[in-house]
Structures are given as structure tokens and as C-alpha cells.
Amino acid sequence: MDNSGDETQGKNDNTKDNGNDKQNDYEQENYVPIQEYTGEGFTLRDANPKTGEIAEENREEVVTAVEGFFKNQYKTEVDVHNIVSAVDGVSVFVESVGEPHFYSFAIVPIDIKNEEVKTDQVWSQEGQIENAVQGGLYAMAFENEFSKLDAYLEKTIENFPVVGTPTEIIEDVMGTGFTTTYYFTSPVADLFDELYEVYLNKPDITKEELSQFFSKHNFEPEDIIITINIYMEEVEDEPDEDVFNDIVANFEELEGVPRGSYSLLLHDNMIDKRRADGMKENTLKRTTPNKIIKE
């Protein structure tokens, strides 16, 4: 009797079990309740801890260089919140002072061999800071609409067993542009590149002037993505479909919020501390290709 099929099936089952065990081990080691996460344990891919050590030894020099980089290149004053080891440098997470308000990061190269901080070579990922500034400008222009969105989400937190992201996490490890405890924005249209150039030429631009800019330029909801992330309140709770469906239904009826293409995600209570990410297989999502469109 040929039992080779059974043997193959056994090997496959063992492989699956080993994979599940590894995933469970990873989760036990790295998943923490969202309310308890402070950003500690966050790790960039292939990071060299030595770069962070060198940067901390020269922290004042690093901070001065990054503040100057944002001021010179982006006409924006920033506060430095956190320094995180990278491959051959450090990522420095910042928050803008005043408006436009945003969170972002810059990269400072480190010469590990000579233990030297290359403060004259600070750089950023292409478009990353520009996008952050654009989101902040959009929020300035539509302040009342964003206030209504914030009020809705605060009421949602009161009425359902869900929570947002602690501000400390946003400050220290996210750098996701215009970001609140509930959502972040991602401008994607050429119009926002034009807006950014307007800002560079006039960094003291007012809310009224920004409103005038948008009144003269048509844009579609799909031109700006707004991603809402919320978590179940209790550690043991899986994402609740009834809760999720009620929140989505309420949001679909909401009027007067910023024009945009909205994604809404409900995670369980745990966040991956290494990646600062709550997305998992059990996350409930209303997103592409069925985003919620607000005109």
C-alpha cells in the first residue's frame, strides 16, 4: 500500500505548524496593547544599533542639523521627538511647530567606522516631507471640516468600545504627515504640488489665503486619501463586525467633513511594537476599491 501521499501531507502539516508556531512566537514577543505602547521596541529594517548609539552621543549636533534641514529646505520649524537607528544612519522623527502641522522624519548618515555624524548630508525620502506639508496645509484650509471629523470620531470613541492611537506613538515612530490619534492624510494629486510651491514662496500663508487657493482650483475626493485607524478597547477582543458596521454606517451619513477618499480600519487591541502597525489578518477594512467618498 502506497503511503507516500500521507507522508507528503504530514510534511505539509508540519510545515504549516512550524509557520504558525513562528508567527505565534513573534506575536507573543512583539505584540502589545495599543494603550501601553510608547514606541519602545520600534525597529527599522536592517537597522544597525551602533548608529543610534553614535547619534545619541552627538544628540545636540544631530538635533541642530535636522532642525536646520527643515528650516532651510522646507521653510518649517520643527521639534525633534525621537532618534531611531537605521542601516547606515538614523531616522529622526519630528513635529512641526505651529501650522501647517505635521509629523515627519529626516535621515542623518552616520560613519560607523569613524564614529562620525554627517550633519552636512541630512536627507529625506523623495516626496515624504512634501506630502506631510501638503496634508498640513489642507487641514489649515478646511479647519472647520476637520473639527467636525474630529468631533465625530471623539463621539465614536465615547459610544463604542474602541480607542485611537496614543499621541506619543505618533510623535516618536510614525512620521505620517498630518496625523491625529484617529487618522492621517495622504494628498496624491498634482494640485497639492502646486500648493506646496505656494507655501515655499510664502511660509506665513494664512488660512484665508489657503481657502482662496482651493476655491480657485477644483479637486476630486480621490485626490486626497484619509485613513482612519481605530482599535478595540479590550485586549482580548477581536474586531467586532457589528461595531465596525455601525461606525461605517454612521460615517457614511456624516456631512460637512473634509472632501476626501476615506479608508476605515478596525484592528484588535494589539499593535506590533517593531513596526508600529496594527494591521493583521483579522483587521476589518472598508477601503480600496470601496472607499467612502466625501464630496
- What is the domain-level CATH number for residue 67? 3.10.450
pLDDT of residue 22: 60
| Residue 12 within any structural domain of the chain | no
Task: Count how many domains the chain has.
Answer: 2
Local structure of 174: helix, strand or coil = helix
| Domain hosting residue 144, numbered range | 130-294
- What is the rounded CA–CA span in Å between residue 2 and residue 144? 73
pLDDT of residue 193: 96
| Residue 294, C-alpha cell as written in the block | 466625501
Same domain, 180 and 92: no
pLDDT of residue 25: 85
Same domain, 141 and 273: yes
| Residue 84 within any structural domain of the chain | yes
In contact, 80 and 90? CB cutoff 8 Å: no
Instruction: Name the nearest CA neighbour of 175 among 127, 252, 106.
Output: 106
| Measured torsion, CA atoms of residues 33, 36, 40, 46, in degrees rounded to the nearest 10 | 10
pLDDT of residue 6: 56
Domain boundary among 57, 92, 125: 125
Stated pTM of the model: 0.90
| Residue 228 within any structural domain of the chain | yes
pLDDT of residue 249: 98
- What is the rounded CA–CA span in Å between residue 82 and residue 129? 16
Same domain, 140 and 106: no
Domain boundary among 89, 107, 125: 125
Same domain, 105 and 151: no
Same domain, 174 and 244: yes
Same domain, 121 and 150: no
| Residue 21 within any structural domain of the chain | no
* Angle (CA) 124 126 130, round 5°: 85
| Residue 68, C-alpha cell as written in the block | 536646520
pLDDT of residue 24: 79
Same domain, 157 and 284: yes
Same domain, 171 and 254: yes
Q: What is the mean pLDDT of each run of 10 residues along the chain (295 residues)?
A: 54 55 80 94 94 97 98 98 97 98 98 96 97 98 98 97 97 97 96 97 97 95 98 97 98 98 98 96 97 97
Domain boundary among 93, 125, 157: 125
Strand extents, DSSP E, the chain: 31-33, 78-85, 89-96, 103-111, 116-117, 162-163, 183-187, 224-232, 260-267, 270-272, 284-286, 292-294
Strands in 89-96's sheet, in edge-to-edge order, are: 78-85, 89-96, 103-111, 116-117
pLDDT of residue 2: 54
